[in-house]
Structure 1
Amino acid sequence: MKTSMKPNQGYRLLSGAVLAVAAANACAQSSITLYGVLDTFAGYQSAQVGGKSTQLVALANNGEMTSRWGLRGTEDIGGGYSMRFDLENGFDPSTGAQQNAYRFFDRQAWVGVAGPFGELRFGRQNTPMFYYAIGLDALGSATYGSGYNDFANWLSRVDNDVAWFSPKFANTQVELHYSVGGVPGSLAGNAVYQAAAQSQQGPLYLALAYLNAANPANSVRVQEIMAGATYDYGHGKLYLAWFRANDVISATTGNALANPAGKYNPALGPVGNVPGNYHSTYSVSADYRLTPQATIGAAYAYIKDDSSLDNNAEQIGAIASYSLSKRTQVYGVVSWLKNFGTAQFRMTGASITTGSLLSPDPGHNETGAQIGIRHLF
């Protein structure tokens, strides 16, 4: 039996097929990824607090990495261009609470476009210093044992940030940032400027970053500079890192950043009215792969106070880690921190969590240990 089809029916079928193919192509060219980290540990710290020898045993999180979940997406819009975004929330897996009570996506919240020119991003973003520091320390600039993390108070994240990332050339990438301060009649008040570059030359990795942040009146500025290098010698890496700033978390110096690490009340703005004294942090560390799964590492860091207070400090830390799988790792850390003068530096881990650390009395030492597990998804 012969059948016939009306012209408009054929048109509708063809249109439906075209739309179906277009939708399939759109799905193929777009992606959204759910990702995250769960990091918990049992920690021990000992120090003199309030004139008494004090010990703390805590089950806490954020030892090696801050626990988080996020949504990352990309869409190909043609012509070599793509739209990208990242939304990231920090949380406490021991209680389910948000890491930052002032905002939901406290770690990242940006949208951008990438193309032959590089990439432009707009929103709350990690600073280059935060990103680079992880690769400049054998302890990943985290855990109780990382003096580089405990001494060098780089700003981790910035709101209202406009960032440009260059295309890679000779295995090198440059990035420039300008954070809009939101002060009427001023482009400088409350603004944050950043410039950075990183380069991978065979086994040698180099990084350099600079940050300049102003208070609302543009009368006080925080200046930070970071530089470092790593060398892969085949069975592990050697690390050198340096950080200098007129801002530091130490009770005796004053803290120019109202929001250290970008984790506190955003209404305060990035810079307070009292600048701190210049400090320089020096760090040397190394790790060694015993097996493809097992690694050991050690680090030494020293912070030099340039002011008359002479509040220096030094720290030694060691770590052992074992990968149970590609996504799950267990780690153990031991550490000793010595404060000079009236300095009050402390062991913090990946980020400060209430109840998981002690603040030593001025000029007193601290010891610490951790056993933790970290899972990536």
Structure 2
Amino acid sequence: MKKNLHYSLLCGTALCISAANANAQSSITLYGVLDTFVGYQSAQAGGKSTQLVTLANNGEMTSRWGLRGIEDIGGGYSVRFDLENGFDPSTGARQNSFRLFDRQAWVGMAGPFGEVRFGRQNTPMFYYAIELDALGSATYGSGYNDFANWLARVDNDIAWFSPKLANTQLELHYSAGGVPGSLAGNAVYQAGVHSQQGALYLAGAYLNAANATASVRVQEMMAGATYDYGYGKLYLAWFRANDVISATTGNALANPAGKYDPALGPVGNVPGNYHSTYSISADYRLVPQATIGLAYAYIKDDSPLDNNAEQIGAIASYSLSKRTQVYGVVSWLKNFGTAQFRMTGASITLGSLLTPDPGHDETGVQVGIRHLF
């Protein structure tokens, strides 16, 4: 009798474990991007006409690989994580030598309340900008990307994403600065909201980052809209920031795009003057596989230097498959005053950029291929 009871208990336990495993589904996904291009840039640099031809990466998107996981723990709740590393496919080197997972490294929980995440995360501005530009806020041709200097990702970030209501979602972020005795030193505060209303997409975000003593604050604001007219989209975008950029007094953001030494902290000690970037662009689908796009951007420097600039860019892309796309870009950038804005692409890769002399123009051409896996 005892043997039968013991056997029954074991079977019952096994069935319970099996049922729990069936209800608590989990998965881990390996994903990534390979983006490589041949680029040509021409400008006056070092007092002479200079051309640069390079095989580089990060044209439309930063090359990366990542692990994304989700575990259903029941009751409508799940645990999630994302680990993402940028790399250079032309050399095999890490995009950021200071980090293994330079792009994302967070864990969180989702449920009826929305989602909370903890760790290194992309900013709302990083996500929204992609949707507000016909060139995806990347390639040589995107003036919105070349002029605006939003912080792309933040360390030690605590984020809450609201449930979607009427296709609208709010997100709030606080990044702990790690300064003893201070919650404000090196802290970064963010808020963002985006909404899809039929053919209209709207987005807005705000970022406030302090230095170690909270005596200097970088402030960034972004807003824009996209309208799907049936054969393509129309895009309007605006960005305003008081970080010092392009031949003013240096760059107040010590860690733009998360590509520099994180020990420097999110901001430096020199306050900047406001710069405002305005962008208008559009794309058109020739056939389901082929799209062309055109973009114009202008940056207004409110500092006494009055270092303004404008840029025109055009793109053509063709999808060879659901995962593979080829693209071509032509671009012209005009610097005013002593401005030195330059064409960058999805993110900076050493050796693949040409910086013009103060006040000089730059032209660029890219032909690339992008593969998603």
Q: Does 1:121 align with 2:122?
A: no
Q: Does 1:304 align with 2:300?
A: yes
Which of 73, 83, 91 pairs up with 1:87? 83
1:281 Cα deviation after fit:
0.2
1:20 Cα deviation after fit:
3.9
Which of 150, 161, 164 pairs up with 1:165? 161
Which of 201, 204, 210 pairs up with 1:205? 201
Q: Does 1:186 align with 2:182?
A: yes
1:18 Cα deviation after fit:
4.2
Aligned residue number for residue 23 of structure 1 = 21
1:252–1:344 CA contact under 8 A, matched in 2: no
CA offsets, 1:113-152, max 9 Å, x none? 1111111111000000001000000000000000000000
Which of 234, 237, 248 pairs up with 1:252? 248
1:130–1:156 CA contact under 8 A, matched in 2: yes
TM-score, normalised by the number of residues in structure 1: 0.96
Alignment of 1:11-160 (within 5 A): 11-26=9-24, 29-160=25-156
Q: Aligned with 2:83: secondary structure?
A: strand
CA offsets, 1:6-48, max 9 Å, x none? 514454445444434443444xx11111110000000000011
Which of 261, 267, 271 pairs up with 1:271? 267
Q: Aligned with 2:287: secondary structure?
A: coil
CA offsets, 1:325-362, max 9 Å, x none? 01100000000000000000000000000111100000
CA offsets, 1:207-252, max 9 Å, x none? 0000000000111000000000000000000000000001154133
Count of aligned positions: 372
**Distance (whole Å) between structure 1 residues aligned to residue 138 and residue 305 of structure 2:** 27
CA offsets, 1:290-325, max 9 Å, x none? 000000000000000011101000000000000000
* Runs of 4+, deviation exceeding 3 Å: 8-26
Question: Gapped runs of 5+ residues in structure 1?
Answer: none
1:256 Cα deviation after fit:
0.9
Are residues 169 and 14 of structure 1, via their aligned partners in 2, closer, same or farther at CA, if it must alter by over 3 Å?
Answer: closer
1:331–1:373 CA contact under 8 A, matched in 2: yes
**Distance (whole Å) between structure 2 residues aligned to residue 254 and residue 61 of structure 1:** 26
2:339–2:359 CA contact under 8 A, matched in 1: yes
2:23–2:72 CA contact under 8 A, matched in 1: no
Q: Aligned with 2:279: secondary structure?
A: strand
1:261 Cα deviation after fit:
1.4
Q: Does 1:294 align with 2:290?
A: yes
Q: Aligned with 1:271: secondary structure?
A: coil
Counterpart amino acid of 1:83? V
Aligned residue number for residue 356 of structure 2 = 360
Alignment of 1:338-349 (within 5 A): 338-349=334-345
Question: Gapped runs of 5+ residues in structure 2?
Answer: none
Aligned residue number for residue 229 of structure 1 = 225
Counterpart amino acid of 1:363? G
Q: Does 1:282 align with 2:242?
A: no
Which of 213, 220, 224 pairs up with 2:216? 220
User: Could you tell which deviates more after superposition, 4-13 or 34-43?
Assistant: 4-13
**Distance (whole Å) between structure 2 residues aligned to residue 218 and residue 326 of structure 1:** 47
CA offsets, 1:40-96, max 9 Å, x none? 000000011100100000000000000000011111111111111111000001111
Counterpart amino acid of 1:19? I
Q: Aligned with 2:146: secondary structure?
A: helix
1:254–1:275 CA contact under 8 A, matched in 2: no
Counterpart amino acid of 2:175? S
Q: Aligned with 1:130: secondary structure?
A: helix
CA RMSD of aligned residues (A): 1.4
CA offsets, 1:247-290, max 9 Å, x none? 15413342111111121100000010112221000000000000
